[in-house]
Amino acid sequence: KADLKSIHYVFRDERLVAVSIIAKKGQTNYKVLREELEKRLGKAQFEKKDALSWNLKHSLILFNFNRQSETAMLVIRAKVYRG
């Protein structure tokens, strides 16, 4: 399991539209989160050094690792809704 530093929720028009999760410093937390994402979501649709993304039916998932700060960040964004 990864050690998390913070979880932030973003609401618009009283609806949850995004969640950002920041792991505590260290490559171990990055590796644990990446392995879990790939296990649950499969291979990333887009991948470049230290950045992955999955474009799902109702959400966009972005995951990256900043080597300078040794921090992993996961962002889950809902796609535009009409309500």
Contact 9, 71 (CB under 8 A): no
pLDDT for 9 equals 97
| pLDDT tier, 83 (very low <50, low <70, confident <90, very high otherwise) | low
| pLDDT tier, 80 (very low <50, low <70, confident <90, very high otherwise) | confident
pTM attached to this predicted model: 0.88
Encode pLDDT of 25-79 as tens digits.
999 999 999 999 999 999 999 989 899 999 999 999 999 999 999 999 999 999 9
Quote the tokens at residue 15.
């609806």
